[in-house]
Chains A and B, each alone.
Chain A
């Protein structure tokens, strides 16, 4: 227990410890107040299928975390009798690991560790709960564990389509990309975007700025400003911190291409299109496997062909028929395999 630095005379100071304890308790309550939403009702008498999500950012971030929460809620609606629990805001990996373990101990049927940064933790936790199914994304590695699925997004495909449109819209021939850290689906999207731009306009310049953070909104905003200074007239970006970059694009009237979730509501005038993740495509397969007795070992992917990736256009943006046709052609080409995104 703490003693006072001037601790002479043995003063009675219990009240301040009581106050401190009260504050700490209040802080812990507030800090622990993530959204633990019951998405399914689970009231039809049978044991509900229990799904838990551990996600790095807010469940309504219009980006990575929201994509999985929306998908699981959709699954819950489709199936009924599904209980959904969400622990979001787990940007600290150790906190996420505690949440993952907690759900496993609680007997959840499927624990979704939704963040490539959670892989190391999952590798340690999953062997302790051999009957619990874990799914890890975005990644293409199950660590050879029989109770771990992994899922990833071929976000390079949507990135390519966006890149084609960006090149067609750009007048300066300079396009700016704001990325978080060069990993996972963020890297795939950025790489695919660059290939798409150069496929449409080989003379274009794609300036890529990985800011080194998934959560620093201010830095993402300033990265977008740095693109403007370098002459970019089109911007895109990926991960939850891009809300800052979208603000810069909006203030300057520059077209923005979104990914992970539909970002039109953040800037209805300048969002051209968003690549939207529909994880329910792979979740259906994972749940079917679990119900069939297989609790892991498979790697899944969402892509344009299987409907897990969908390009949603913003009707509020005046996109010319010509550019829209280029986008549609790129989508068809990727689906048919006639176009390679370079991955």
Chain B
């Protein structure tokens, strides 16, 4: 057990948890905007998968990780528009249509990979950026400030999301539309426009999250996200629809995974317990969800389509 707390292992373990949290954090923040306005998008994982493949393929062709990230983000944006059309304009049942988007992303990303690439080919990963001064702080520097630029941007997105939600007219409209769309509508807020915006933000960030994952790993493979999009949706509930809560949930999930991995590597968790230990992050998330569900209520209009006069 003492091996776990040597400086090198501890730094690496926390850094690992941060890396694991980042795709979840980006996707969760986007999904949070949609849910705060009343739209549940269960298609996050499918959008992440198409963002992942798009990002991977763009890097493979261009050699630029930033083109890849941008391309995956744009694909996410387009799928966000599709999701918004389905959920807002067509008023489809959100759970069912989200699963449709997920299946589409799962199948299409694999199909495109098979047809355009075939056998996996490694690509470049994001370069590490050591933040001046901060990266030199003992312990913390190694854990938090020697990551890629995408990691820093993901965490910067948290206060930005808080500001947008709590300090802007757009944020006020989002909250109003999610709580009581009829009242918001009567005050002249376009419910459809707000929901379009939030679902597109969600799709865009899901595409970014997928691309960030693939480029960070330097590879694409069928079902690369391994259901991370669904975990991201759960983390929105975990975080009680608040950016800080979402960040806490993503970090908890990533860190628990990292601790379990390191304990297995060091033999602290015996081999016979490996499979059970692998379930620990999911179990902790479920327990936390139960606690949160008892203390916080989701946006009142979540999953409810809006039609004026109904």
State in angstroms the CA–CA spacing of A26 and B108 once bound together.
10
Say how far A103's CB is from chain B's closest CB, in angstroms: 20
Contact of B261 among A23, A60, A226 (CB under 8 A): A226
- Give chain B residues whose Cβ lies under 8 Å from the Cβ of A287: none
Binary per-residue interface labels of chain B (220-258) against chain A in the complex, 1 for a CB within 8 Å, 0 otherwise: 011110101000000000000000000000000000011
Binary per-residue interface labels of chain B (1-29) against chain A in the complex, 1 for a CB within 8 Å, 0 otherwise: 00100001101110010011001000000
State in angstroms the CA–CA spacing of A267 and B262 once bound together.
25
Say how far B157's CB is from chain A's closest CB, in angstroms: 20
Tell me if A29 and B304 are in contact (CB < 8 A): no
- Give chain A residues whose Cβ lies under 8 Å from the Cβ of B139: none
Say how far A194's CB is from chain B's closest CB, in angstroms: 10
Which of A31-39, A147-155, A288-296, A316-324 touches B?
A31-39
Tell me if B221 and A222 are in contact (CB < 8 A): no
Tell me if B164 is interfacial: C-beta within 8 Å of chain A. no
Q: Which of B103, B213, B258 has the most CB of A within 10 A?
A: B103
Chain B minimum-CB-distance residue to A56: B222
Within 8 A of B (CB), among A1-36: 2, 4-9, 11, 13, 15-17, 19-20, 23-24, 26-35
Tell me if B104 and A26 are in contact (CB < 8 A): yes
Tell me if A33 and B110 are in contact (CB < 8 A): yes
- Give chain A residues whose Cβ lies under 8 Å from the Cβ of B309: 9
Tell me if B217 and A244 are in contact (CB < 8 A): yes
Binary per-residue interface labels of chain A (187-227) against chain B in the complex, 1 for a CB within 8 Å, 0 otherwise: 00000000000000000000111111101111101110111
Say how far B287's CB is from chain A's closest CB, in angstroms: 19
Tell me if A250 and B278 are in contact (CB < 8 A): no
Tell me if B118 is interfacial: C-beta within 8 Å of chain A. yes
State in angstroms the CA–CA spacing of A207 and B266 once bound together.
6
Q: Which of B103, B261, B307, B310 has the most CB of A within 10 A?
A: B261
State in angstroms the CA–CA spacing of A204 and B182 once bound together.
69
Say how far A230's CB is from chain B's closest CB, in angstroms: 5
Tell me if A218 and B107 are in contact (CB < 8 A): no
State in angstroms the CA–CA spacing of A227 and B13 once bound together.
10
Q: Which of A23, A35, A182, A228 has the most CB of B within 10 A?
A: A23
Contact of A4 among B8, B91, B114 (CB under 8 A): B91
Say how far A89's CB is from chain B's closest CB, in angstroms: 5
- Give chain B residues whose Cβ lies under 8 Å from the Cβ of A266: 120, 122, 219
Say how far A53's CB is from chain B's closest CB, in angstroms: 15
- Give chain A residues whose Cβ lies under 8 Å from the Cβ of B149: none
- Give chain A residues whose Cβ lies under 8 Å from the Cβ of B223: 89, 91, 215
- Give chain A residues whose Cβ lies under 8 Å from the Cβ of B306: 6
State in angstroms the CA–CA spacing of A114 and B159 once bound together.
48
Say how far A245's CB is from chain B's closest CB, in angstroms: 10
- Give chain A residues whose Cβ lies under 8 Å from the Cβ of B120: 60-62, 243, 266
Which of B59-67, B92-100, B165-173 touches A?
B92-100
Which of B129-137, B269-277, B288-296 touches A?
B269-277
Chain B minimum-CB-distance residue to A65: B222
A222 and B305 in contact, given A26-B104, A240-B221 (Cβ under 8 angstroms) = no
- Give chain A residues whose Cβ lies under 8 Å from the Cβ of B310: 4, 6-9, 11
State in angstroms the CA–CA spacing of A7 and B91 once bound together.
12
Chain B minimum-CB-distance residue to A250: B122
Tell me if B217 and A221 are in contact (CB < 8 A): yes
Say how far A298's CB is from chain B's closest CB, in angstroms: 31
Tell me if B226 and A218 are in contact (CB < 8 A): yes
State in angstroms the CA–CA spacing of A88 and B223 once bound together.
12
Q: Which of A20, A24, A222, A251 has the most CB of B within 10 A?
A: A222
Tell me if A265 is interfacial: C-beta within 8 Å of chain B. yes
Chain A minimum-CB-distance residue to B97: A20
Within 8 A of B (CB), among A228-261: 228-230, 240-241, 243-244, 246-247, 250-251
- Give chain B residues whose Cβ lies under 8 Å from the Cβ of A339: none
Tell me if A159 is interfacial: C-beta within 8 Å of chain B. no
Tell me if B191 is interfacial: C-beta within 8 Å of chain A. no
Tell me if B86 is interfacial: C-beta within 8 Å of chain A. yes
State in angstroms the CA–CA spacing of A182 and B271 once bound together.
8
State in angstroms the CA–CA spacing of A222 and B274 once bound together.
15
State in angstroms the CA–CA spacing of A24 and B103 once bound together.
8
Tell me if B298 is interfacial: C-beta within 8 Å of chain A. no
Contact of A23 among B8, B12, B101 (CB under 8 A): B101
Q: Which of A7, A221, A226 has the most CB of B within 10 A?
A: A226
A211 and B261 in contact, given A6-B304, A6-B307 (Cβ under 8 angstroms) = yes
Tell me if B111 is interfacial: C-beta within 8 Å of chain A. yes
State in angstroms the CA–CA spacing of A287 and B251 once bound together.
53
Binary per-residue interface labels of chain B (107-132) against chain A in the complex, 1 for a CB within 8 Å, 0 otherwise: 11011011000111110010000000
A247 and B218 in contact, given A19-B90, A211-B278, A219-B261 (Cβ under 8 angstroms) = yes
Contact of A226 among B122, B226, B262 (CB under 8 A): B262
CB-based closest 3 A-B pairs: A212-B278, A30-B107, A229-B12
> Which B residues contact A (CB, under 8 angstroms)?
3, 8-9, 11-13, 16, 19-20, 23, 85-86, 90-93, 96-97, 100-104, 106-108, 110-111, 113-114, 118-122, 125, 213, 217-219, 221-224, 226, 228, 257-258, 261-262, 264-267, 271, 274-275, 277-279, 303-307, 309-310
Between-chain CB contacts (< 8 Å), 20 pairs: A2-B96, A5-B303, A6-B310, A17-B92, A20-B96, A23-B101, A32-B107, A60-B119, A89-B110, A89-B222, A182-B274, A182-B275, A208-B267, A215-B223, A221-B217, A240-B221, A243-B217, A247-B217, A247-B218, A267-B122
Knowing that A58-B114, A215-B221, A227-B265 are A-B contacts, what are 11 other residue pairs whose CB atoms are under 8 Å apart, sorted by A's residue number?
A16-B92, A28-B103, A29-B107, A30-B107, A182-B274, A215-B226, A218-B23, A219-B261, A222-B258, A229-B8, A229-B13
> Which A residues contact B (CB, under 8 angstroms)?
2, 4-9, 11, 13, 15-17, 19-20, 23-24, 26-35, 57-58, 60-62, 88-89, 91, 176, 181-182, 207-213, 215-219, 221-223, 225-230, 240-241, 243-244, 246-247, 250-251, 265-267
